Amino acid sequence: MSLPPAHPSHLRPVDLALIAVYLAGITLFGLRFRKSGDRSLRSYFLADRNLPWWAISLSIVAAETSTLTIISIPGLAFSGDFGFLQIAMGYLVGRVVICILFLPRYFRGELLTAYQLIGQRFGPRLHRFTAALFLVMRAAAEGVRVFAVAIVVGLAIGTGDVASIAILSALTLLYTFEGGMAAVIWTDVVQMFLYVGGSLVALATVCHRIPGGWSALVAGASAAHKFTVLHFSWSVAQTYTFQAGILGGCFLTMASHGTDQLMVQRLLAARNLRESRLALLASGVVVFFQFALFLLIGAGLFVYYNKMGIAPSLGTDRIFPAFIVQQMPAGIAGMMIAAILAAAMSNLSAALNSLASASVVDFYLPRYPDISEQVRTRLSRLMTVVWAAILFALAMFSRSGGHVVEIGLSIASVLWGAMLGVFLLGTLTRRAGESGTIVGMAAGVAVNLLLWLQPHSFTLSVAGRAVVLPKIAWTWWVLIGSLVTCAVGYSASLLFPEPIHVEEVAEG
């Protein structure tokens, strides 16, 4: 069957004008938070710890969302069902654990990064090791996220990857460079309202395009079992199961929100421990319903294309952006593209600020502790520019097949497991030493790399019998990596005991 009447493959002038207004407006809004005169690192990286919990909460959601979420999660529902929500359930459990286990320790001192806590507990070597691991992990994962922007912009206005990513990166760099964390968080709040509002409009448009509207969408999606959420299976090869969602999602969130500077920096910007906990827990509830909204859009697109008798030739990550450009009315399409760009800019600004903070605080200041605040702030801004250039370069190498949201999470999951294992060893036991923990961390990274590089399945010979081992889904990687790190790190520490580091905070 032929395609229904659609708009041109690129946006119309009114839509392009809306996007231009948004890009200019959000950049000028972010620049409002720049301060004249000298600034301290606390001001630049933590906004003087004077931000309300609800703003931090919405900023966490915006940073967690990214362009990958908006364009890829509808694709998961289009080709599958609502099983991804099982991961979101684990996200909620993981946030509770972070509030109990990690946040109290972060608020015991004047910390600027998560890895200073590791330095206090273990020593300078592991401090630098974990910070370096964060820089590698965040840069690699962010490269995929930045490239995801090119999918949207390329479909919308036909620009090449280099031009579209360069424009967005330059504008985001401008207000992040000038405004620091205050600009990052408050622009996140604006951008989140924009992309959630745009997503609601997109859902309404899908319903309008389906003959029969909302009731037809629900009936069609139900008939295709799109609303199925729970999948009870102990198969480690299956990505979205209840067990992988609760356990894997819990450990994934403990790593991403409890040890990753991208999120920890926001939590440290809260006024006190209570508000930090409130911000984190509230963000989990918002994220759950946000994921449900994106999945509902994907289910609606499935029903729409089935009703029209169309088999889209685009990959699932491009179905939603293509629908926006080709099927949404003038003005609405521009609003939606602006909303998706808002998520991209939100995540990119957060990455730039966190990468700069870890570079300066965890690597430069321990070597040169006596430099003035003015020099520290100038260096922080310089590192923001450096990381913008690095992420731009990495985005050019991030072209790959599959769901980009899964690619991004897979890259991060390779290193998050070992990172979480170190934090668990540092908080749950006093017997773990620096050298033993480094050994455990190396083992955790090695195991996760093997899981990442593992083929679809392979056969081992055990006692003369062939045993087929399936490829383990990425949802289990953080859990496995953290357990390996803990087990090897604790055992190595018992074999090679060493004194507890003198800077460790004494506790029961």
At 342, the pLDDT band (50, 70, 90 cuts) reads confident
The mean of the pLDDT values for the chain is 82
Phi, psi of 305 (to 5 degrees): -65, -35
Quote the pLDDT of residue 157.
62
Q: Are 120 and 422 in contact (CB under 8 A)?
A: no
Task: Average the pLDDT over each of 140-144, 256-260, 280-284 and give the range with the smallest value.
Answer: 140-144
Residue percentage of the chain with pLDDT more than 90 = 31
Quote the pLDDT of residue 506.
35
Tokens standing for 396? 């050019």
**CATH 3.40.640.10 matches 13-398:** no
Quote the pLDDT of residue 242.
92
Per-residue pLDDT at 340 exceeds 90: no
Give the residue from 387, 330, 319, 382 showing the smallest Cα distance to 354: 387
Tokens standing for 114? 């998560």
Quote the pLDDT of residue 404.
46
Residue percentage of the chain with pLDDT more than 70 = 84
At 461, the pLDDT band (50, 70, 90 cuts) reads low
Task: Average the pLDDT over each of 191-205, 307-321, 428-442 and give the range with the smallest value.
Answer: 307-321
Quote the pLDDT of residue 36.
57
Dihedral angle sign, alpha carbons of residues 175, 176, 180, 186: positive
Phi, psi of 469 (to 5 degrees): -105, 125
Mean pLDDT of 267-284: 94
Quote the pLDDT of residue 286.
94
At 423, the pLDDT band (50, 70, 90 cuts) reads very high
pLDDT tens-digit readout, 111-135: 888 898 898 889 889 999 899 988 8
- As separate numbers, helices (DSSP H) first and strands (DSSP E) second, the chain gives 19, 2
Tokens standing for 61? 């959601």
Quote the pLDDT of residue 405.
45
- 16-30, 82-96, 469-483 — most confident range: 82-96
pTM (predicted TM-score):
0.85
At 184, the pLDDT band (50, 70, 90 cuts) reads confident
Tokens standing for 81? 């069902």
At 54, the pLDDT band (50, 70, 90 cuts) reads very high
* Residue 483 identity: L
Domain residue limits, the chain:
13-398
At 5, the pLDDT band (50, 70, 90 cuts) reads very low
pLDDT tens-digit readout, 379-411: 988 999 999 888 888 777 665 444 444 555 566
Mean pLDDT of 355-383: 88
d(CA 473, CA 311): 28
Residue scoring higher pLDDT (276 or 175): 276
Give the residue from 29, 97, 114, 75 showing the smallest Cα distance to 419: 114
Residues 6+ apart with CB under 8 A from 208: none
How far CA 86 is from CA of 22, 73, 172, 475, in Å, comes to: 34, 13, 33, 11
Quote the pLDDT of residue 403.
45
Quote the pLDDT of residue 156.
62
Residues 6+ apart with CB under 8 A from 451: 414, 472, 477, 480
